[in-house]
Structure 1
């Protein structure tokens, strides 16, 4: 689908989707992206329904533009036995002078009836999903509420499965993308964006949004040349003043290179791409002791809180994609406009 058709479908002026980044991107970032003409996104997996409604109210009050509410579609297993994980973390607790306790952060929860009612109440233009799609009756209600449905694919099989269930557009999430890998049909078999994007474009008849390692005009133009109808950027925004990125995270972002970004299961129990820190260097990026998603973060919370209070990111999920060196400390509105104008140029080239 052409860029013009994508813009007409979404109501955006620029073919840029600000990535929903739980814990880092709230209403301020969405507002800035929308003011520039892009699509503003809100990550809802760690928010209550009341918090989602409050954030949407703030976004709507700022002016017009398309809002994307993003949800997870994972299975939530019963609480696991964390004995092995607690034993693994014991030396860190001792080193930090902490007595063990669990100050559990909000679990990342899958889309459910309560959030369905929130969607119906606030009426977003777009509802997007990570880790697959919810049941068909939810999709029917989402469409009845006037929203488009976007999915996330990490391979061609997933893209075709999403298209078969009626997705209006899909995100082609390349290997380079920061945060959680969105695979859902089978194991994690990552593919770089330059190979993934044209394969998905050729396999489906809906707009494809390129994501993964896109941080400047060169990456945007390359994605458009490979057939993308729009681009999604996340890491590119992490240094902007509108994000909730911690100071420790900001410091690492300014010095990091592509090879500092690795897939790890330590912070949530599921593979996600972030920057190396003390926990990763000590335990390895992937450790079998970590509980399944989304339970791993609870036991890390006290360690993370103490370190961040001291300006350290030793136990924090420093999410960032391989395009981390391209991130700039610019206002999010400027970033959106810069990437969006490059996308328009790339589409017309």
Structure 2
């Protein structure tokens, strides 16, 4: 789909709306809109088109509505085709947020209509919008034909101006863990390669029974997003114990992919890692810490609450197209328990070899 002409906007301007597909030369134009759009997120950036296409080999359909010669709303989509889990059109796979950003009601309806036409043409099982917040724009699409699955919550909180203020804002018990790590001499460094991050992260997700992303995925993220994508590693002496890949967007920081060694639990390296991400973000001028999404009822969910973050349910919306029910592709589904146990028993080199072929089908 390159362009679809739609009904005129009933707004006073009377300007017609056209829905178009993002082209390679339009990335800067798209990103300028995203940067200025209040409800847009890091995952609405045009760079994800490159990640989807080159990194995961998923066809991407980044739609934007144009009105009066300007972008008025965006909807990034990617088509995930999986022999294991079916076919879906998602905004956006491997990302915690998505959906339509910006625009009047007419613009949003135009983008939604184009996405539904595309979903039917592709013959997907379902169309999915990963809304971040429950607001009127999400509610427009939460009518009877859409389903919701209350599986995830996100954890976001403002950062205070001074690092010490942020430390004191952490609940006492959790703050004591951070202070103990400081006293033990743990320290952090911003890394410029994947040499310490990837082995720590791969081993960490293997212990959880989860397939790992390919190393090239993280290399591509660093290339595409540049200085908006950092790696922070925690050391005890010369020994790397925890590492996290961070995204920066406007005045927000998002620790996105993180892991620790078996020692990290006893030394507090994981806790110290997130504190250092917070402290460094404060120094960088960030005003919001996005702890990311977690599944309800999991250890990660409890961990973030222990930091004093209040969970905000994620109102993801799903519309069935060819499927008769939503696939329950998550580790909490009992049918995957055997797979998880078996995956943990795989030798790590074999898991790292096989993992990327499986994880790209998950979305």
Q: Do the two structures share a fold, i.e. TM-score over 0.5?
A: no
TM-score, normalisation: structure 2? 0.30
